[in-house]
Amino acid sequence: MAKPSVAVPEVVGAASAAQAACPCPGTTLFPYPPPRGAAVVRRKCHQLLQVELGGMGAAGAACWGVESMRASSPTHAKAAAALAAGVDREDERAAAAWSARHPSALGKFEQIVAASEGKRIVMFLDYDGTLSPIVDDPDAAFMSETMRMAVRSVAKHFPTAIVSGRCRDKVFEFVKLAELYYAGSHGMDIKGPAAAKPPSSSSSSSSRGHAKAARNHNANKGGGVVFQPASEFLPMIEEVHARLVETTRGIPGAMVENNKFCVSVHFRRVDEKLWAELSESVKAVLREYPKLRLTQGRMVLEVRPTIKWDKGKALEFLLDSLGFADHTTVLPVYIGDDRTDEDAFKVLRRRGHGVGILVSKHPKETNASYSLQEPAEVMEFLLRLVEWKRLSRASLRLRLQ
């Protein structure tokens, strides 16, 4: 496995002063001691990083705006141009150091599967940017048929879940595989196949408290694990969605998406000159809803309940639901590209086992251990995993004959 990273203090001086004036969340991860050029990677990553922001308090609102929208939402072309324009030897050394800390999951494939010896692999996959390309129209983020076949093949050998910020029903419409687990709205809307098991008696305390909700079955759709920890927020989310639709109606290109337990305001098609107006419109609405918080991703502002639940919590809950509360019996593999996937990567690091794989063509701060560049590489990794499993089973049968 990749050498664990540890948090190190921020650079003192001007950087510390800037951070004190802008108390946004975020921790820099570098091996200790930091490699030469670490500060350069941080500067470059800052342009590419998808920044998750805090609630709508005065401090949180003061430290983000159009600049953070630009930083968290670069187009691939702009990001590549920005990097190419400023490449020097120090930058190259820093990028090489990042690649050494987060090597290709394809190049380290044998190392990854070796870590699964005696354990059950459980797959967790983000959708947008992982199984499908990032596109201008969120409603057109279709996965290819070959990717669907790869995911279906993986699900035949390993329990598999799709974990997305999208509405669970919408993700299912894209993926169309009934045998998977689906965690929509950043894990706040979870449903599994009818054969899914409720949480085991040894579940972690955080998930055990919701065990009763997890045992609710949907009789109309064949049962299965169902878990919705933010159900009480549904009327509020509906109300905020309607208000945001009306508020942003006059901003060309703005798209407001109701993801059931969260609301996404997409600005991929909005002229950059109007980003400030858009962000102010969203913030103005949310000032009246202190129980909701604003977060930011790639070309999207997201409104979510303030409950302590995210993709990392969803990962733990699903492992418990599958009967894998005992970490010695399972190797979770989580693949994702977004800032919200970092919550799952952090859980894997905290648990001390599991494989986090970041999908990104450019260096960015991450808790993942490995990297892949694009959905095409994700598909290749999934297919190699399936082939490895088939060969392992064939080898076992030969030994038993």
Structure tokens at 59: 């401090």
- Prediction pTM value: 0.73
Query: What local confidence, expressed as pLDDT, does residue 237 receive?
Result: 96
| Residue 274 and residue 340 in one domain | no
Please report whether residue 1 resides in a domain.
no
Instruction: Say yes or no: 224 and 237 in one domain.
Output: no
| Tens digits of residue pLDDT in 57-106 | 433 444 456 666 666 655 555 555 555 555 567 778 888 899 999 999 99
Q: Token pair 């609102």 is at which residue?
A: 61
Residue with structure tokens 């990553």?
45
**Could you list the residue range(s) of the whole structural domain that residue 31 is in?**
6-101
User: Is 327 within the bounds of a domain?
Assistant: yes
Same-domain pairing of 168 and 221 = yes
Let me know if residue 22 belongs to a domain. yes
pLDDT of residue 82: 54
Token pair for residue 220? Answer: 């109309």
The mean pLDDT value for 116-135 works out to 94
* Cα–Cα distance for residue pair 249/223, rounded to 1 Å: 39
- The string of pLDDT tens digits covering residues 331-358 is 999 999 988 999 999 999 998 889 999 9
Q: pLDDT (tens digit, 9 = 90+) per residue, 222-247?
A: 456 689 999 999 999 999 999 999 99
Provide the pLDDT confidence category of residue 328 given band limits of 50, 70 and 90.
Answer: confident
Q: Is residue 181 part of a domain?
A: yes
**How far is the first Cα of the chain from the last one, in angstroms, to the nearest whole number?**
34
CB-CB contact of 355 with 369 (8 Å): yes
| Domain assignment of residue 383, yes or no | yes
How confident is the model at residue 63, as a pLDDT?
44
Q: Are residues 216 and 321 both part of a single domain?
A: yes
Q: Has residue 180 been placed in a domain?
A: yes
Residue 122 shares a structural domain with residue 224: yes
Q: pLDDT at position 398, please?
A: 76
Same domain, 255 and 368: no
Of 68, 101, 134, the residue at which a domain comes to its end is: 101
The burial class, CB within 10 Å (0-12 / 13-18 / 19+), for 182 is: buried
Instruction: Look at residues 101, 126, 150 and tell me which one is the last residue of a structural domain.
Output: 101
Q: What is the pLDDT of residue 77?
A: 53
Single out the residue in 101, 120, 154 at which a domain terminates: 101
Does one domain contain both 236 and 219? no
Q: Count Cβ atoms within 10 A of the Cβ of residue 74 and give its class: 0-12 exposed, 13-18 middle, 19 or more buried.
A: buried
For residues 132 and 211, state if they share a domain. Answer: yes
- Please give the pLDDT value at position 138: 85
Quote the radius of gyration of the chain (alpha carbons, Å): 21
Any domain includes 393: yes
Rounded average pLDDT over 165-184: 95
Q: How confident is the model at residue 299 (pLDDT cuts 50, 70, 90)?
A: confident
Asked whether residue 124 falls in the same domain as residue 216, the answer is yes
Please determine, for residue 274, whether its predicted confidence score (pLDDT) is greater than 90.
Answer: yes
Count of domains observed in the chain: 3
- Examine the domain organization and report whether 147 and 279 are in the same domain: no
Residues 208 and 248 in one domain: no
pLDDT, averaged across the chain: 78
Q: Which residue, chain included where needed, has tokens 């975020």?
A: 26
pLDDT tops 70 at residue 154? yes
Same domain, 210 and 341: yes
In a domain, 83, yes or no: yes
CATH number at residue 360: 3.40.50.1000
Q: Helix axis angle, 375-400 relative to 145-157, nearest 10°?
A: 40
Residue showing tokens 């598909």: 379
Who contacts 119 (Cβ-Cβ below 8 Å, separation ≥6)? 328, 329, 330, 331
Q: The CATH number of the domain where 293 resides is what?
A: 3.30.70.1020
